[in-house]
Structure 1
Amino acid sequence: MEDLIRRMTPVAAPPEQQAQVVALSKALAGMIHPPRRRAPKCQLVGPKGETIPLPESVFYVLERVAEIMARGDSITVVPVGRELTTQQAADLLNVSRQYLVRLLDEGLMPFRKTGKHRKLRIEDVLTFKKKRDKGRRAGLRELSQMTQEFGGYDSELK
């Protein structure tokens, strides 16, 4: 599992851990009490019983990660400003590396070359993904609307 995280592969809770993740998410969310909205002073307990203070910023990241995984979604943690290889970017976009290279050659995403290798900024990849997903949703809405206008699928199923 640790190797997957280091390679920026999206990680989801295995089915046998899903209930624990949901419980953790609820517990973390319940620790924040309005109107103060500050994280409580938390500690991690290590495998040998040692305690490690948990900074407030890490608490909020952990709370968000648990919330996302509790929904059954996968998550990837990537440092802002990080440069990705074409394979890492392709994995993040869930496309083949060859397809990603074609997108780069068509000028659809900025990159820089270091020798023979292309490097992409994580922000640029995420911006592309957001625009692509927005376009996909718009296309799906249009297709759904056309289906409704033409009577949908009900007449075929009867």
Structure 2
Amino acid sequence: MTATNAQIPTPEAAEEAKRALRSLSPAGGIAGARTVRVHAGDEHAIVPKEAFDLLLEILGQMANGNAVTIVPIQAELTTQQAADFLNVSRPFLVDLLERGQIPFRKVGTHRRVRFEDLRAYRKADAQRQSAALDELAAIAQEHGMGY
């Protein structure tokens, strides 16, 4: 499985996702096992709990009007896909790669970045940002700026 371009769900699809989420979630009133039926027929399947939980997360995101893309942890992304994931420009991402901030490998002349390395970078970056904000808030308090 590879990353694909996600599409924002239509309002109708978001409503359908909301209804499905209500009927499938534990708060939906049905205790115990769940059976999921495909909209196009009577077939059903037993899925692992982890897959079912993922389905609930996908439905929740769709119900909120968000696009969803599933990317395996082991996936390798192009620099454009990696930049899109981090919400940065491709040149900025390439600079991060070349400075050794995110590991990558070359396939011919093209760089490939592992998805799990991107997740680790994003998590570490969020922690750095949080620490910087905490420091700024402490300085503002120290100077009586009312924060």
TM over 0.5: yes
Q: Which residue number corresponds to residue 100 of structure 2?
A: 107
The 1-side partners of 2:38 and 2:80 are apart by 34
> How far does residue 15 in structure 1 lie from its aligned partner after superposition?
6.2
* Alignment map for 1:1-158 (pairs within 5 Å): 6-7=4-5, 9=6, 13=9, 20-30=16-26, 33=31, 39-46=33-40, 50-57=41-48, 58-70=51-63, 75-152=68-145
Q: Secondary structure at the match of 2:133?
A: helix
Deviations 1:5-49 (A, max 9, x none): 723x5x65566765554443332213673xx5xx41221121xxx
Higher relative CO (Cα under 8 Å, sequence separation at least 6) belongs to: 2
Partners of 2:99 and 2:62 in 1: CA distance: 35
Is the strand fraction higher in 1 or 2? 1
Give unpaired runs (5+ residues) of structure 2: none
Query: Shift in Å at residue 105 of structure 1?
Result: 0.4
Counterpart of 1:40, as a letter, is: R
Query: Identity over the aligned pairs, expressed in percent?
Result: 35
CA contact (8 A) 2:24 2:34 kept: no
Q: Deviations over 1:80-136 (max 9, x none)?
A: 211100000000000000000000000011111011100011111111111111111
Query: Residues 61 and 68 of structure 2 are in contact (CA less than 8 Å); yes or no, is this contact kept in structure 1?
Result: yes
Query: What are the ranges of 5 or more consecutive residues in structure 1 without an aligned counterpart?
Result: none
Q: Is the 8 A contact 1:104 1:110 kept in 2?
A: yes
Q: Call closer, same or farther: CA 1:6–1:41 in 2, change over 3 Å.
A: same
